[in-house]
Amino acid sequence: MSLYVDVSRRRNVLIVRLSGELDHHTASDVRKQMEEELSKGIDTNLVLNLSELSFMDSSGLGVILGRYRQVSQLGGRMGVCSVQPSIRRLFELSGMFKILSFYEDEDAAIRACGVAS
Query: What is d(CA 8, CA 6) in angstroms, rounded to the nearest whole number?
Result: 7
pLDDT in tens, 97-112: 999 999 999 999 999 9
Nearest to 98 by CA among 71, 57, 65, 49: 65
Spatial distance between the Cα atoms of 110 and 116, rounded to a whole number of angstroms:
7
Per-residue pLDDT of 35-61, as tens digits, reads 999 998 888 899 999 999 999 999 999
Residue by residue, DSSP assigns 11-78 as TTEEEEEEEEEESTTTHHHHHHHHHHHHHTSS-SEEEEEEEEEEEE-HHHHHHHHHHHHHHHHTT--E
In this prediction, residue 116 has a pLDDT band, given cuts at 50, 70 and 90, of low
Q: Which amino acid would we find at residue 17?
A: R
Amino acid found at 41: G
Q: What is the pTM of this model?
A: 0.93
Maximum Cα–Cα distance across the chain: 36
3-state DSSP call for residue 93? helix
Tens digits of per-residue pLDDT, 68-102? 999 999 899 999 999 999 999 999 999 999 999 99
Domain ranges of the chain: 3-112
pLDDT band of residue 115 (cuts 50, 70, 90) is low
CATH class of 3-112: alpha beta
pLDDT at 107: 95
